[in-house]
Structure 1
Amino acid sequence: MVMNLDPQITPQQTIIRIPGLKQPLTILQITDCHLTECDEREEIDIRTEAVKRTSVFASQLAGGPSTADLFDRLLRTSNDLQVDFTVFTGDIIDFPSQANIEHLQRQFDLLRSSYLYTVGNHDWYFSGSFTDEVRAAAYPKFREWISETPGCEIRTVGGVKLIALDNSNYQVTNDQFAAIKQAAATGEPYLLFMHIPIYLSSLQQDVVDKWGAPIMMGASNWNAASREAWQVRTTDPSTSRFCRFLASEESGNIRGIFCGHVHFNHIDAFRAGRYQYVTAPGFTSQCRLIKLIAE
């Protein structure tokens, strides 16, 4: 029995029953921690903006621990819970400063479970142009945790595939789609982890109420002003095909989609009997404890 868990950390618990599962598995999902560590190695404009971003989260945290402190406590919670796997679904850092990257590395070295990491838009984007070229330039900073191509990491744990997909630009490429289709074709159960949730009509209103724009993958109801403000291009054909794939029986033995980005908890079906779990941000002391058990 695990003792002395951090009382400030509040995991949402999700139980998924899988027919034929040989052993129970526990997975901790951590998302949207938004670390704002920065030092003199960055240009003055980055340091100035970092101070502003730190103030934004400090005001939300009401003088409590920093986002970095909360991230460290979440990782200690992963260790205390003795989970089988930890998955980080993006915006763990608020911008790719050297200090942020080094903080991640120090903490990952203390993590006892295996882990997957997929980037969110903030991991690689700070200011300026939100483009694929900017993301590609930042990818080498994450080379210890993610591969550069095709941005789709797959691990198998206890007969279950864990897939971490980079959709941090609101898109999925043909190569990423092909990798997931190949994984699905095996018939093995799989979980999909990514930063940006897929568009669901039941999710839309809460997202728009909070953010003023439909910041979901595959959303079509953007207006021109919000699309320009968020720098989100129209949905690529490969992304549209991928969203249709997930909503159909063709997606096979998928057992859940886990994401973040919109900063609140939400659960709803994306196809009959299959659910998308949007997880609240780590900077609010939240995470998701996923328990896989045999049906």
Structure 2
Amino acid sequence: MRRTNLRVFRAILLIITFTFPFSACGSSASIKKEDITTYQIRIPGAEDSYEFLYLTDTHMIVPDDNESPEISDYEKQRLPVFAVEDVPSSAEQFPQWIHYANEQDFDGLLLGGDIIDSPSASNLEYLNTSLDDLKIPYIYNIGNHDWTYPWEYMTEKGKSEYLPLFNSYMQNNTSIHTKEYEDFTIVAVDNSSNQITPNALEEYKEILSKKKPVILMLHVPLYTKAVLEKAAAVWKGGVVLGGGIHGGIYPDNVSTEFITLTTAKDSPVELVLAGHVHFALKSDIQGEKSIPQIIGDAGYKGKATVIQISG
């Protein structure tokens, strides 16, 4: 995909900046503590304490009239979908969150998917420019909107043309990648297509076999009764992976094995982070082992999550 002309991109940045004079771009001044939900998670044996900022579903849109008419029209139609009264646009918010993450010196920024609303050149350029300002580690998990357009939704073309655009954010492996910490491993697994890929499953098995505690990042939540009930009420459908008999998405054989391993009695998974459904919820995934799952509220609403971890 072609890169946005630098002059055009600078013009876009100016438009974003001056459209919202009440909040300085690159400053955390407009971030409100009441918009941040904090959870404490205990990992037995952890010797240090950690704090992470978790952002998901920001759905950033940076319109560019130099895109194809189809893409340009789509972006203009999508902008009002994510407009929230008295909340800056997600494209304005994101640099503020970057500044806040730097300011608070978190142990990492966790990005849970649908950070951009489509893989347009201007969206990707804005994402890249914003992350260049980040001074702490980050891990990026991909969502269904990050890499797809509705007219090419989950197609082979999307997989071959758009998914590779995220390689640089995901250690050249969009299926699964990790971030190591002294007391645990954060594992980001792509389930944006509502299933787990075979390649991800095989690598996941190797990670779990080390028995080091794992924080698992997904985009689509795993089934719990609480999340399915709320998702069904909001979305009029079961947009969670698992619980097919109850109205969720039936997992295929690979995904079934993935879920079984995650909730096995000897599983080292201590926490699942997810997004996708645009509401905040904490509930337990049931299996041989019960695992807490935290779903982050949608970032386009101005919401974020802080995860505090200790032993």
When normalised by structure 1's length, the TM-score is: 0.88
C-alpha distance in 2, partners of 1:91/1:48?
19
Cα 1:288/1:57, change in 2 over 3 Å: same
Cα 1:36/1:219, change in 2 over 3 Å: farther
Q: Number of aligned pairs?
A: 281
**Do 1:13 and 1:288's aligned partners in 2 also have CA atoms closer than 8 Å?**
yes
C-alpha distance in 1, partners of 2:32/2:213?
33
C-alpha distance in 2, partners of 1:116/1:207?
26
**Do 2:56 and 2:115's aligned partners in 1 also have CA atoms closer than 8 Å?**
yes
Match of 1:116 in 2: 139
Amino acid in structure 2 at the alignment position of 1:167: N
Match of 1:49 in 2: 74
Match of 2:42 in 1: 17
1:186-265 superposed matches below 5 A: 186-221=210-245, 235-250=251-266, 252-265=267-280
C-alpha distance in 2, partners of 1:182/1:88?
23
Q: Deviation of residue 213 (structure 1)?
A: 0.9
Amino acid in structure 1 at the alignment position of 2:64: D
Q: Are 2:197 and 1:182 aligned? A: no
Amino acid in structure 1 at the alignment position of 2:99: R
| Greater relative contact order (Cα < 8 A, sep 6+) | 1
C-alpha distance in 1, partners of 2:174/2:103?
33
SS of residue in 1 equivalent to 2:145: helix
Q: Are 2:48 and 1:31 aligned? A: no
Identity %: 24
Q: Deviation of residue 220 (structure 1)?
A: 1.6
Match of 1:270 in 2: 285
**Do 2:223 and 2:241's aligned partners in 1 also have CA atoms closer than 8 Å?**
yes
**Cα RMSD after superposing both structures:** 2.2
Q: Deviation of residue 219 (structure 1)?
A: 4.1
1:156-171 superposed matches below 5 A: 156-171=180-195
**Do 1:154 and 1:162's aligned partners in 2 also have CA atoms closer than 8 Å?**
yes
C-alpha distance in 1, partners of 2:79/2:251?
32
**Do 1:139 and 1:148's aligned partners in 2 also have CA atoms closer than 8 Å?**
no
When normalised by structure 2's length, the TM-score is: 0.84
Show structure 2 runs of 5+ residues with no match.
Answer: 1-27
Q: Which has the higher strand share?
A: 1
C-alpha distance in 2, partners of 1:6/1:208?
30
SS of residue in 1 equivalent to 2:163: helix
C-alpha distance in 1, partners of 2:250/2:49?
41
The superposition leaves residues 207-229 of structure 1 with CA deviations (integer Å, 9 ceiling, x where unpaired) of 01100110111242588xxxxxx
**Do 1:150 and 1:176's aligned partners in 2 also have CA atoms closer than 8 Å?**
no
